[in-house]
Structure 1
């Protein structure tokens, strides 16, 4: 493993024990194209947004302090143009602003507010500039365009049921997958943001199972799901549009550990089984990282770098980059290259459903509406 470090003013008290993810640290969010990242960082006794530049020869961090420190529950999200979206909660109103460096200071552009009980930012859009948020409700959930609209936050979709998650299914930021809780079951649906929030089924493994989409690679259609269809909560993989069933490999079932996939290796359009998946593994001994591929039965596990922020991305050179922070290195990237699969390692056999099911209900992802992705988009 090699590391790339970028220097700026050290943040006192920002080091964490080796191989662990500090529980009090807010999330580290990476833009869809890997150009920027953002996080809420501790600076002494207060919190400050900061932007990481990841696509430069030497990555670096830019603090974005304001006159008033942020609350620890403030959300931040990087845009592809280098600005950072900030989501704050004040007196029941969810307020949004864009932050950007202005010489020695920080510029701030207020975007407006949404009044709702709950609201959280969705992952960065693949198209780069827009930003969306999800407001879940007991009977219906709302998707809001909170940055990139003409007149402040705009309601773009209303989805029945209580929704969670959020995975982008294409490179344009049009199709959004949400985990929909309806009639006592959770299934993943696709929401077309350019057709008034039109909803269509996406993932329905079994009639009585709870099925959630974790990650998707738009290029290959490779998806990771979490479902209790095998009889217990398991992580499985498949391909959108395929007639093959979802597979639940034993390599992703680690005893007494929580396995969280956080990045899929792109560039395997014609061979989705070659996609490597980056994992965060949490257990009694702490947190560490892993790499798994359908071409391998086992999972590569390795110690995370000191001060790991719990996420990462794949580089164009197919290295896994793990961001970390210590008192001496406030902006570091540890690099890990996945091992080549052994020749004798074949894809794990397909697991059968826990009970016999008709072919129409086999364990497989429901294909994303082909007419919607091909016919409609081709005519644009």
Structure 2
């Protein structure tokens, strides 16, 4: 397999379900945007366009569910509206290639949230259970977690209300119960855990240093591996820790990568966080593969038309979705190196000022 260096596509990113079976994105350009669902668990991936009578706005959001339906969030007049989209008939022709191909689109309205002045609403990452979906609404100094799909009541349901301005959103378990959010309060940002099964009980998660901003980027529920960004070492750095561990967060020198964002972590490594593969997007045209047990990263160019995301499998394969004129719906599969590659030598960064040793992660409410 050959991987070609290229700039990433400027189209909307792809969102993948937790089980990797489906994905969704807002395809098209300009004023001709439409939702598109990708099926990823078959012999080869294929895309089904889900257009309606009118094109979608560029700021609409889509989220795939495990049953193949696609949740869409739109700003409609004075409210944020949610609906489920699905193919309304069986398609028997060749693989769809554009917004006018394929079955007709069905739409199930799910209600909405009133759009007050200054209210910001966005969808949270797909829930691990594949059935429910949540949105984060920030209004002034208060944040509400809305359950917008997968419940019996009509319209969105308040799942939690938190003081402070929250961002991020990382699931910590396989049941879709424990949600980590980065909460800004009193001038500092700290990751907290919201227990959605207990009415939104909030517990501290990251307290690396008293005056540091500590955000959770990714988590592997099987192993407990956490990927973190914190300025506790004296500047914003990528680090890692283990959920509930008594050991401090570590900030490896090899993760001093400019404009690096972890986007996938290997599942299935039960109680073995050091062996989990981690994939990072570096700038617009590079990938970095890394394991906590290693003291280096393996860097390579991104595939042509890469959509900026991907998914690890438990056996160590990384699937990267991409779209090009020749392959409008494709997957490139990479295998985690079995032997350590030679280290990448970077320009030595300036030595940070001495800081107090980071204190361990606090125990999260997994019991």
Q: Under a length normalisation based on structure 2, what TM-score does the superposition of the two structures give?
A: 0.89
Q: Identify which of 350, 359, 362 aligns with 1:363.
A: 359
Q: How big is the shift at 1:209?
A: 0.1
Which secondary structure state, in structure 2, belongs to the residue aligned with residue 290 of structure 1? strand
Distance 1:338 1:225 in 2: 22
1:54: which partner in 2?
40
Q: Quick one: which of 6, 14, 20 aligns to 1:28?
A: 14
CA distance in 1: counterparts of 2:54 and 2:34, whole angstroms: 9
- What SS does the aligned partner of 2:245 have? coil
User: CA–CA distance in 1 between the matches of 2:342 and 2:296?
Assistant: 12
Work out whether residues 222 and 240 of structure 1, in 8 Å CA contact, stay in contact via their aligned partners in 2.
yes
- Shift of the alpha carbon at 1:137? 2.6
Structure-to-structure mapping, 1:1-380, within 5 angstroms: 1=1, 18-23=5-10, 25-42=11-28, 46-103=32-89, 104-116=103-115, 117-150=119-152, 151-254=154-257, 257-282=258-283, 286-342=284-340, 354-356=354-356, 362-369=358-365, 373-374=366-367
CA distances 1:138-162 after superposition (whole Å, capped 9, x unpaired): 3210000011122111111001100
Match of 2:346 in 1: none
Write the distance in 2 (CA, Å) between the matches of 1:78 and 1:142.
22
Secondary structure, counterpart of 1:194 in structure 2? helix
SS in 2 for 1:177: strand
Aligned partner of residue 46 in structure 1, secondary structure: coil
- Kept after mapping to 2: 8 A contact 1:21/1:287: yes
Question: Residue in 2 aligned with 1:377?
Answer: none
Task: Specify the alignment match of 2:348 in structure 1.
Answer: none
Q: Secondary structure at the match of 1:114?
A: strand
2:266–2:314 CA contact under 8 A, matched in 1:
no
Cα–Cα, structure 1 residues 112 and 236, in superposed 2: closer, same or farther, change >3 Å? Answer: same
CA-CA distance at 1:44 after TM superposition:
8.0
Contact 2:320 2:332 in 1 (8 A): yes
TM-score, with structure 1 as normaliser: 0.86
Please provide the CA RMSD for this pair. 2.1
Residues matched between the structures, number: 343
User: Is the CA contact (8 Å cut-off) linking 2:290 and 2:297 kept in structure 1?
Assistant: yes
Q: Cα distance 1:229–1:356, how it changes in 2: closer, same or farther (>3 A)?
A: closer
User: How many Å apart are 1:53 and its aligned residue?
Assistant: 0.7
* Whole-Å separation in 2 of the counterparts to 1:130 and 1:315: 22
Post-superposition offset of 1:65: 1.0
**Structure 1: which 4+ aligned runs deviate by more than 3 Å?**
341-345
| Distance of 2:121 and 2:5 partners within structure 1 | 33
Deviation digits for residues 76-134 of structure 1, max 9, x if unmatched?
Answer: 00000100000001223110010001122010001001013210000000011100000
CA distance in 2, matches of 1:344, 1:322: 24
* Cα distance change of structure 1 residues 162 and 343 upon mapping to structure 2, 3 Å threshold: closer
> Residues of 1 paired with 2:112 and 2:219: CA distance?
30
Contact 2:214/2:231 (<8 A) preserved: yes
Q: 1:241 touches 1:366 (CA, 8 Å); kept in 2?
A: yes
SS of the residue aligned with 1:203?
coil
Greater RCO, CA 8 A, separation 6+: 1
Separation in 2 of the partners of 1:165 and 1:49? 23
Cα shift at 1:18: 4.9
Cα distance in structure 1, aligned partners of 2:126 and 2:73: 13
